[in-house]
Each structure stands twice: as structure tokens, then as C-alpha cells.
């Protein structure tokens, strides 16, 4: 093949060129239209949760070795809904054998129902979840063979002037 012919051979046909330019332009215009809307829709996924503060819950003296439930009133920001009265969370608080205070979240690690201390007459000295009979020891460790597969979460705790303050909920470092 002569060089002349090689140069004349079209690498891309007119039809292909037009298809690519039209599709490219349409794609560009379409995506500038869709990008803001899609980003708008997925924004909640990309937002960081607000840091929660420590809240005064009880006098340290009130806390015994038996888990007792206390109400924790926290501010919530649920989109445009910011209830003035806040939202009430529950904490199961006890003094451990080593004297440290443990404040457990009542949210079951199986599928999120609410556990209660000695919630089942058949299982004394345990936390019980009535949804699927999940059980936890007094320290909130899940009992093997029951549905939950992790220990209950705990609140961060702080003691100031003989008062117990509870902070954000965190996973147990077990």
C-alpha cells in the first residue's frame, strides 16, 4: 500500500464522528443537569453526624451494683426537626466490681430492639431482649447461642462533683 493511500484512509467515519460528538455533548449536558440532583439526594450519606455532649444523669451515690435505668435527655437534630424537649435515651448504669461505673445502651446488637435488665423471669441476673430472646450478662456481654453477636454498646462516662455525666455511645473494646 502506498503512503498516499494510507493517509487517505479514514480512521473514523463521518457517522462515527458525529455519533461520538453528539453523544459526548448530550452526555455532558445531561450530567451537568443530573449531578446537582444526585448529589442533593445522596447528601445524607456524606454528612458527618454531630458530636454529642456530656449530659448530667445522676448522683454517683445513686449508682449501685445492680443495673438501674436512667433517662438521658439529649438534643437531636433530625433534619429540619429539632424538638425543644430533646429526645430521651435510656442507659443501664451500674457499679462494677472494680468500682468503675458502666453505662450500657439498651439497644440490642441483634436487630435493634430494646433490652431490659431481668426482662425475662427465666433468666435472672441478665439483660434480656424480647424480640428474639437475645441475652447478655450483667456486664452486657452477649450470651453465646443467643441471637446477638456483639456486646451491648456503652456510654462514655465522666464524673464531676459527685455527679455522673454520660457522653456519646461507643462500641465495647472487647
Can you name the residues that pair with 93 across neighbouring β-strands? 68, 103
From residue 99, give the alpha-carbon distance in Å to each of 64, 83, 95, 102, 163: 10, 37, 6, 9, 15
Return the number of the residue (76 or 107) whose C-beta is nearest ligand FES.
107
Return the number of the residue (101 or 108) whose C-beta is nearest ligand FES.
108
Interaction between residue 39 and another protein (CB under 8 A): yes
Task: To the nearest 10°, report the CA torsion of 129, 133, 139, 141.
Answer: -120
The length of the chain is 174
Which of the listed partners (ligand FES, another protein, none) does 110 bind, with a CB threshold of 5 to 8 Å by partner kind? ligand FES
What are the cell numbers at 163?
Answer: 455527679
- Is 156 within 8 Å of 167 (Cβ atoms)? yes
Interaction between residue 151 and ligand FES (CB under 6 A): no
Interface characters, 8-47, with ligand FES (x: CB under 6 A):
----------------------------------------
Residues 41-100 that bind ligand FES (CB under 6 A): none
Interaction between residue 79 and another protein (CB under 8 A): yes
What are the cell numbers at 42?
Answer: 445522596
Interaction between residue 41 and another protein (CB under 8 A): yes
Cβ atoms < 10 Å from Cβ of 123? 15
Q: Report, in Å, the least distance between residue 123 CB and ligand FES.
A: 13
- Which residues bind to another protein, rule: CB under 8 A? 33-34, 36-37, 39-41, 43, 46, 79-81
Amino acid at each position: 500500500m502506498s503512503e498516499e493511500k494510507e493517509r487517505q484512509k479514514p480512521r473514523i467515519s463521518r457517522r462515527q464522528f458525529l455519533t461520538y460528538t453528539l453523544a459526548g455533548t448530550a452526555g455532558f449536558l445531561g450530567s451537568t443537569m443530573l449531578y446537582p440532583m444526585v448529589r442533593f439526594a445522596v447528601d445524607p450519606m456524606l454528612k458527618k453526624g454531630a458530636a454529642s455532649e456530656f449530659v448530667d444523669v445522676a448522683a454517683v451515690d445513686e449508682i449501685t451494683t445492680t443495673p438501674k435505668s436512667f433517662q438521658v435527655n439529649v438534643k437531636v437534630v433530625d433534619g429540619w426537626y429539632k424538638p425543644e424537649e430533646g429526645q430521651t435515651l435510656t442507659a443501664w448504669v451500674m457499679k462494677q466490681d472494680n468500682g468503675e461505673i458502666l453505662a450500657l445502651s439498651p439497644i440490642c446488637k441483634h436487630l435493634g430492639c430494646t433490652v431490659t435488665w431481668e426482662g425475662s423471669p427465666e433468666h435472672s441476673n441478665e439483660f434480656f431482649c424480647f424480640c428474639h430472646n437475645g441475652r447478655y450478662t450483667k456486664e452486657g456481654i452477649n450470651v453465646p447461642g443467643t441471637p446477638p453477636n456483639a456486646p451491648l454498646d456503652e456510654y462514655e462516662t465522666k464524673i464531676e462533683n459527685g455527679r455522673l455525666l454520660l457522653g456519646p455511645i461507643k462500641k465495647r473494646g472487647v
